[in-house]
């Protein structure tokens, strides 16, 4: 099915119907352009392999059901219900000794859903000296309470943040669609498809006992195909970006495999790593870490490859006489700036997510080398460096592919229309007429793309 999607252009996805930066000649050029033909073959084979892997590794659900049963047996699974705080009372803890009085807070809530909806429940008391969760809770706050039916026991779980999250998601979707229009809407669909792959395929397939690395590679390939073609259209430009993404992802996988093995990570450095073996003992935590690194690298890779192909296409479109060597050199110079920013972005993303941990290490009176040696930090270091190496490799690989395909598909003559005129905004060679001044409309999203 993926092969058909890759090779067959639905609705004639060619760039010939309008002027603009693209791979001139469209899909018809693959017969005369050996580079584009080779790219199509590579992408088609990768798509076929991903489709076969998706079928073979598709979860049965047995592993997930067994894990849920074990979680329920050891008390990790419980019902979560929305509730509203009705009263907050501070008093001496029930277990305080006369010579050591301690202050506790009791929170009373009204259960807002479930079979006991409307029932008022007093939650277990919080010791104000050691527990900081309840300090800011006041009547009227929305919270989540846990309920264990076996002993009719309610307890505090967390604040109810679903409403602001829904508002934020709605605002995000509104801004993306307002600015990106159709392209933005398709990007949101691609994001939803990514979540579906992770939740419906990756998690249950790993719980079924399949190799986490293999599952992650298949998932990353499927996500790359769906997100890139859905967002950027089924055209040669996207196909070149996809080929660069898959090639760089393969390099990232190889590097990560080597250095994750040399570092001998156990996967037990986090609370999740310690909990998972209790409910899914068959999961290889070290391989799960490696699989997560592969999926994590994909997000930055497709950003780099799409940008590089677009930069090369713009150069070829506006300077059709520019030699191939100069096209490649200019594209790599653009990519060098992009890489410098992206590598720092990866580091800041990991450091920002673990900032509380950074503070704890700062007061631990350990050397930087010793801190880096801890598995919790070393995992992020290996992820960042291996992912960054893949990003660096993506720039020349994708730039060369895009330049070769553009060079084979476009010539100065092909920039002219049948009546001898050139596309708007492109002056003829040697013409003294200046290019028109830029307009805001020039930067607006193209409603004709993505082209199917």
Beta bridge pairs of residue 83: 111, 143
Map residue 431 onto helix, strand or coil: coil
Q: Rounded to two decimals, what is the model's pTM?
A: 0.78
Phi, psi (rounded to 5 degrees) for 219: -65, -45
Cβ atoms of 309 and 398 closer than 8 Å: yes
279, 71 in Cβ contact below 8 A? yes
Burial string for 282-302 (b: 16+ CB within 10 Å, else e) reads ebebbbbbbbbbbbbbbebbb
What pLDDT is attached to residue 411? 43
Q: Which residues of 156-181 are buried (b: 16+ CB within 10 A; e: fewer)?
A: bbeebeeeeeeeeeeeeeeebbeeee
**Of 324, 237, 310, which is closest to residue 43 (Cα–Cα)?**
237
The answer to whether the CB of 390 falls within 8 A of the CB of 399 is: no
Are 308 and 403 in contact by the 8 Å Cβ rule? The answer is no
Residue 441, pLDDT score: 47
The answer to whether residues 110 and 125 touch, using CB atoms and an 8 Å cutoff, is: no
Q: Report the distance separating Cα 143 and Cα 337, nearest Å.
A: 46
| pLDDT given at position 436 | 52
Identify the residue whose tokens are 């229009």.
Answer: 181
| Topology given in CATH for the domain delimited by 81-160 | OB fold (Dihydrolipoamide Acetyltransferase, E2P) (2.40.50)
DSSP code string of 342-374:
HHHHHHHHHHHHTHHHHHHHHTTT--HHHHHHS
What are the structural domain ranges in the chain? 2-57+180-426, 81-160
The answer to whether the beta carbons of residues 285 and 272 sit under 8 Å apart is no
Asked if residue 73 lies in contact with residue 67, where contact means CB atoms within 8 angstroms, the answer is no
- Residue 427's pLDDT is 43
Please report, in tens digits, the pLDDT of each residue of the chain (452 residues total): 343 433 333 333 333 334 344 444 455 656 667 888 888 999 999 999 999 999 999 999 899 999 988 888 887 888 999 999 999 998 899 888 888 888 899 999 999 998 889 999 999 988 888 877 767 888 999 999 999 887 888 999 999 999 999 999 999 999 999 998 888 999 999 999 999 999 999 999 999 999 999 999 999 999 999 999 998 888 888 999 999 999 999 999 999 999 999 999 988 888 888 888 888 888 889 999 999 989 988 878 888 899 899 899 888 888 888 888 888 888 888 888 888 777 777 777 767 777 777 777 777 778 878 888 888 888 888 988 898 899 889 999 999 988 888 654 444 434 443 344 444 444 444 444 444 554 544 444 454 544 44
d(CA 142, CA 140): 7
- Residue 445: the pLDDT is 46
Task: Please state, in angstroms and as integers, the Cα–Cα distance from residue 53 to each residue in 37, 208, 210, 246, following that order.
Answer: 24, 15, 11, 15
Contacts of residue 329, defined as CB under 8 A and 6 or more positions apart, other chains included, come to none
Nearest by Cα to 190 from 226, 217, 157, 166: 226
Q: What is the pLDDT of residue 241?
A: 93
The DSSP code sequence of 8-42 is S-TT---STTS-SSS-TTGGGGGGT-HHHHHHHHH
Question: What is the pLDDT, as a whole number, of residue 280?
Answer: 86
Task: Provide the token pair at 263.
Answer: 């570092």
Contacts of 298 (CB under 8 A, 6+ apart): 220, 223, 224, 245, 249
Q: What pLDDT does 27 receive?
A: 56
């Amino acid at each position: 099915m993926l092969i058909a999607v890759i090779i067959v252009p639905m609705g004639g996805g060619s760039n010939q119907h309008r002027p603009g930066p693209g791979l001139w000649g469209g899909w018809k050029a693959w017969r005369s352009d050996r580079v584009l033909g080779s790219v199509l073959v590579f992408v088609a084979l990768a798509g076929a392999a991903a489709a076969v892997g998706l079928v073979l590794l598709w979860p049965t659900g047995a592993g997930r059901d067994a894990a849920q049963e074990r979680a329920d047996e050891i008390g990790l699974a419980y019902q979560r219900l929305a509730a509203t705080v009705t009263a907050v009372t501070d008093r001496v803890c029930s277990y305080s000794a006369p010579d050591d009085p301690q202050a506790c807070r009791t929170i009373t809530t009204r259960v807002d859903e479930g079979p006991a909806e409307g029932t008022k429940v007093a939650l277990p008391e919080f010791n104000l000296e050691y527990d900081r969760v309840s300090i800011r809770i006041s009547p009227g706050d929305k919270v989540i309470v846990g309920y264990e039916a076996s002993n009719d026991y309610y307890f505090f779980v967390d604040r109810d943040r679903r409403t602001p999250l829904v508002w934020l998601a709605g605002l995000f979707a509104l801004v993306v669609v307002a600015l990106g229009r159709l392209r933005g809407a398709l990007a949101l669909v691609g994001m939803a498809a990514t979540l579906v792959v992770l939740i419906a395929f990756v998690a249950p397939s790993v719980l079924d006992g399949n190799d986490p690395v293999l599952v992650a590679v298949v998932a990353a390939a499927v996500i790359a195909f769906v997100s890139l073609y859905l967002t950027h259209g089924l055209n040669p430009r996207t196909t070149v970006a996809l080929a660069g993404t898959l090639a760089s992802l393969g390099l990232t996988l190889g590097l990560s495999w080597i250095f994750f093995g040399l570092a001998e990570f156990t996967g037990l450095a986090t609370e999740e790593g310690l909990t998972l073996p209790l409910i899914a003992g068959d999961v290889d935590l070290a391989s799960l870490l490696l699989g997560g690194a592969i999926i994590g690298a994909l997000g930055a890779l497709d950003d780099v490859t799409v940008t590089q192909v677009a930069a090369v296409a713009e150069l070829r479109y506006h300077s059709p006489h520019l030699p191939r060597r100069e096209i490649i050199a200019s594209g790599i110079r653009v990519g060098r700036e992009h890489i410098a920013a992206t590598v720092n972005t990866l580091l800041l993303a990991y450091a920002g997510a673990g900032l509380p941990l950074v503070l704890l290490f700062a007061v631990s009176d350990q050397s930087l080398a010793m801190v880096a040696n801890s598995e919790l930090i070393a995992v992020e270091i290996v992820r960042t460096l291996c992912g960054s190496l893949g990003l660096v490799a993506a720039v020349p690989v994708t730039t060369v592919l895009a330049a070769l395909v553009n060079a084979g598909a476009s010539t100065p003559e092909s920039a002219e229309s049948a009546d001898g005129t050139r596309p708007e905004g492109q002056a003829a060679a040697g013409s003294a007429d200046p290019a028109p001044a830029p307009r805001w409309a020039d930067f607006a999203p193209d409603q004709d793309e993505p082209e199917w």
